[in-house]
Amino acid sequence: MENHFIAWWNVENLFDVKDAPLERRPERVKRKIASDLSVWTVDVLEQKLHNLAWVISQMNNGMGPDILGACEVENKYVLKQLLSKITLLDRDYDIIHSNSEDSRGIDIAFIYDKKKYTYIDTEFFQHAVVKRYATREIIQATVKTKQGNELVLLGNHWPSRTSGQYESEPFRIITGETLSYFVQRIQEVKGSDTAVVVMGDFNDEPFNRALSDYALSTRNKAKVISGRNPYLYNLMWPLMGERTSSYIYGGRPLMIDQFLVAKGALKSNGTFRVNEDSISIEVYDGMVKGKYNTPVRFGQEKPNLAGYSDHLPISFILEEK
């Protein structure tokens, strides 16, 4: 049996330096985020990368993740810099990334170990959610394991609640409906038992409509396995009663970073199966503070050089026969 340690992390505004060449930052992005980067120097970026790399290296009992989905990264250049800081001897990480249309230049990406997976680059798709201007996105990538089995990854960063939870909800509903269509098409093209792993910062919790009614996310495993619709099993439900999460707002834990899986990762006689005892929120020394265990931000306008991100990473193990 082969184990696949899969993680997700919103790394909080991993920007390139403020005077990055235009080939690394389109003019529309450079104008939009200029005020955010008034103190974003090479030294500040180096510290941010060092802190993130330390956390990533702690995962999986110090072996690092096999696959890491990340959001709020500006470009491939800063991801390459991040990988240069991860000095795990048994890893050969590579990047799956494509620039999005987001006006602030924050993208989604996957980091994967080339020793364990082959990336099928002809099967990369992305879709931006549009509300008069493009914002956030869904990306789809397929990797093949050493055993020759395909694993489809869907990374998400859904529209935020900045304008208000209910005022912004229609945009997350649109995104949830789009995600469900992605899953349906994957199952139609590749087969209903294809292992699909959905991960992301959804800016909604498992019980919110965009996830439950439109993305067809549920806590009912039997419904996912037997249902005709492209239901997704939400792995985060068992943690909901523990008053823990990867994100804290106003002292309240919000379960907005989540893993969802399709039926191909659930069947007892299938090729892949989720180890439900492995679902975890990754916390290491210095990553949280206060009575609410609030993630220690790095920030950007006034960087805290001892910080990491306003989100904590989440992880689980997918077993392959």
Question: How crowded is the C-beta side of 28, counted as CA atoms within 13 Å?
Answer: 10
Q: Which amino acid is at 181?
A: Y
Q: 317, 65 in Cβ contact below 8 A?
A: no
**Of the candidates 7, 3, 11, the residue with the CA atom closest to the CA atom of residue 309:** 11
**pTM assigned to the model:** 0.95
Angle at 211 between CA 76 and CA 276, to 5 degrees: 80
Mean pLDDT over all residues of the chain?
92
Strands (E), 131-241: 134-145, 150-157, 195-201, 217-218, 232-234
Cβ count near 238 (within 10 Å): 12
Express each pLDDT in 293-315 by its tens digit: 999 999 988 899 999 999 999 99
Domain residue extents for the chain? 2-320
Which numeric CATH code is attached to 2-320? 3.60.10.10
Q: 197, 318 in Cβ contact below 8 A?
A: yes
Express each pLDDT in 166-212 by its tens digit: 888 998 999 999 999 999 999 999 999 999 999 999 999 999 999 99
**pLDDT for res 33:** 63
Alpha-carbon distance 14 to 309, whole Å?
A: 9
Strands (E), the chain: 2-14, 67-73, 93-97, 107-113, 117-119, 125-130, 134-145, 150-157, 195-201, 217-218, 232-234, 247-249, 252-254, 257-261, 272-281, 288-289, 294-295, 314-320
Q: Which amino acid is at 299?
A: G
Express each pLDDT in 121-180 by its tens digit: 999 999 887 766 556 789 999 999 999 999 999 999 998 888 889 888 998 999 999 999
**Of the candidates 238, 171, 233, 240, the residue with the CA atom closest to the CA atom of residue 205:** 240
How far CA 19 is from CA of 22, 36, 96, 278, in Å, comes to 9, 12, 25, 42
Residue located via tokens 């087969």: 191
Q: How many residues does this entry show for the chain?
A: 321
